[in-house]
Amino acid sequence: MAELTNLLDLDPAQLVAYCGELGEKPFRAKQLQRWIHQFGASDFDSMTDLAKSLREKLKTRAFIAAPKVLSDHTSLDGTRKWLVDVGNGNAVETVFIPEENRGTLCISTQAGCAVNCRFCSTGKQGFNRNLSVSEIIGQLWMAEFALRETAGVIPGPKGERQITNVVMMGMGEPLLNYEPTVTALKLMLDDNAYGLSRRRVTLSTSGVVPMIDKLGQDCPVALAVSLHASNDALRDGLVPLNKKYPLADLMAACQRYLEFAPRDFVTFEYCMLDGVNDTDAHARELIALVKNPRLTVPCKFNLIPFNPFPESGLLRSKNERIKAFAQILLDAGIVTTVRKTRGDDIDAACGQLAGEVQDRTRVQERMQKMSAYQEKFGKNFGVLVEVTS
């Protein structure tokens, strides 16, 4: 018996091709797509404007299923977090952040993350595998219709959309799972699916330079870059990917991307770490980095108060220090915001997304070895220091 196709895995063009294989005209794909992504339908019998013969074909060849929800928690501030099962002992987290004039969904793209940024508790769980298209877009599909049900909003295009913005900032590095991520993006943007504006879909990357260029050609959306350091020596220790794609290459890629991007700036995410990257000198270095006369990158900075966890050995910058740091950037004419911490009581804040990962990269084992070395050679063994001449 032929394997069934999960229709959540197909972008608009792929769904047209799939219907063609069934002997159906392209308009049937649009109808089918609307039933799936605008009405949240998973039962072919409910798709009443499809010919009965097509519905019968689909029942024997296809299905519609998002990852199963393992838990669903709502924070005191309204932030809602789902833990979803992606099989073989792995689970990822999806977070909805309601605000007065928008609702933002934070989506995961991998089970775990291989980038292992030092300040990110998500990365300390290691990496298992890339998520499929249905596992990525399935988070949006699941969340939109769960939120509608809670709010008493009818499914379909006439019902008020609950999710107005999507950020690919959950577990994983989206650009290291490129094809499924882009397929999911195309569904988010399609008018017969979610109809989101490119300006309202943001992909966050730690700086995979060749894939930033490819994204600019294939599906440019708003871009956020996890910067977190003002020079290569510091960033090498905080974001290991920097050793492969240093700051000069990353800034050049950002500038190239802006030719195609829906926004005329890049957002730089900057996690504020006490005594590590938060001095006035670091702020001035950032200004020089993005306002380099040879390579200026129009940007805004989003300063993120660090969410401490024991394995990092790092502390959150004091509020006064964050304000002073932000003021230096503002005085240089750079739009700067400080991210509000949301969902702390359900561990839904930035860098806290945990899930469950069957690690193939042995991160925990390596961290235990580091603890043993520090016990033997002193607590400063392996600690990040910035060397200044």
Tokens representing residue 117 in the block? 């940024």
CA distances from 65 to 17, 54, 135 (A): 20, 19, 9
Average pLDDT over residues 283-298: 96
Does residue 389 register a pLDDT over 80?
Answer: no
Q: Is 350 a catalytic residue?
A: yes
Cα 75 from Cα 85, distance rounded (Å)? 21
Q: Is the pLDDT of residue 361 over 70?
A: no
- Calculate the average pLDDT of the chain: 88
- What tokens appear for 196 in the block? 């989101």
Confidence check: pLDDT of 13 > 90: yes
Question: Computed over its alpha carbons, how large is the radius of gyration of the chain?
Answer: 22
How many helices and strands (H and E) does the chain possess? 11, 16
Tokens 């769904």 identify what position? 15
In this predicted model, which residue has the larger pLDDT, 362 or 59?
59
pLDDT above 70 coverage of the chain, percent: 86
Give me the pLDDT at residue 317, please.
95
Which phi and psi angles does 253 have, rounded to 5°?
A: -65, -40
Q: What is the distance between the alpha carbons of residues 303 and 322, in angstroms, rounded to a whole number?
A: 8
| Spatial separation of the C-alpha atoms in residues 226 and 228, rounded to whole Å | 6
Strands (E), 210-330: 222-226, 266-272, 291-292, 295-296, 299-305
Average of pLDDT values for 102-106? 96
Predicted confidence band of residue 119 (pLDDT cuts 50, 70, 90)? confident
Q: CB of 305 within 8 A of CB of 339?
A: yes
pLDDT computed for residue 89 by the predictor: 86
Q: What is the pLDDT of residue 77?
A: 87
* Cα(312)–Cα(121) distance, integer angstroms: 8
Say which of 19, 24, 93, 254 is annotated catalytic: 93
Instruction: Say how far apart CA 329 and CA 289 lie, in whole Å.
Output: 12
> Which residues lie closer than 8 Å to 218 by C-beta, 6 or more apart?
182
Q: How far apart are the first and last CA of the chain?
A: 68
Question: Over 60: is that where the pLDDT of 380 sits?
Answer: no
Q: Measured between alpha carbons, how far is 119 from 84 in angstroms, rounded to an integer?
A: 24
Q: Which residues contact 350 (CB under 8 A, 6 or more apart)?
A: 169, 271, 304, 307, 339, 341
Encoded tokens for 85: 């099962």
pLDDT at site 309:
79
> How far is the C-alpha of 222 from the C-alpha of 366, rounded, in Å?
35
Read off the DSSP letter of residue 50. S
Question: What is the predicted pLDDT for the residue at 359?
Answer: 55
Helix (H, G, I), strand (E, B) or coil at 28: helix
**Other CB atoms within 10 A of residue 61 CB:** 15
Mean pLDDT of 140-144: 97
> According to the model, what pLDDT value does residue 295 have?
93
The pLDDT of residue 340: 76
Quick: pLDDT tens for 230-247.
999 999 999 999 999 999
Average pLDDT for 183-193: 97
> Tokens 């924070």, residue?
75
The answer, yes or no, to whether residue 344 has pLDDT greater than 80, is: no
Among candidate residues 106, 120, 271, 350, the one labeled active-site is 350
**387 pLDDT above the threshold of 60:** no
Q: Which helix (H) or strand (E) holds 130?
A: strand 127-130
pLDDT computed for residue 345 by the predictor = 56
Q: What is the mean pLDDT of residues 167-191?
A: 96
Of 258 and 387, the structure prediction assigns the larger pLDDT to: 258
Residue with tokens 């159906």: 24
Distance CA 183, CA 168 (A): 13
Domains and CATH numbers, the chain: 5-63 (1.10.150.530), 68-367 (3.20.20.70)
> Per-residue confidence at 127, pLDDT binned at 50, 70, 90?
confident
Weakest-pLDDT range from 11-25, 109-123, 326-340: 109-123
DSSP secondary structure string for all residues of 90-111: EEEEEEEEEETTEEEEE---EE
Q: What is the mean pLDDT of residues 162-188?
A: 96
Annotated catalytic, 24?
no
Nearest to 22 by CA among 37, 7, 36: 7
**Distances, alpha carbon 117 to alpha carbons 207, 238, 291, in Å:** 12, 6, 26
pLDDT value for 308 = 84
Residue with more model confidence, 365 or 177: 177
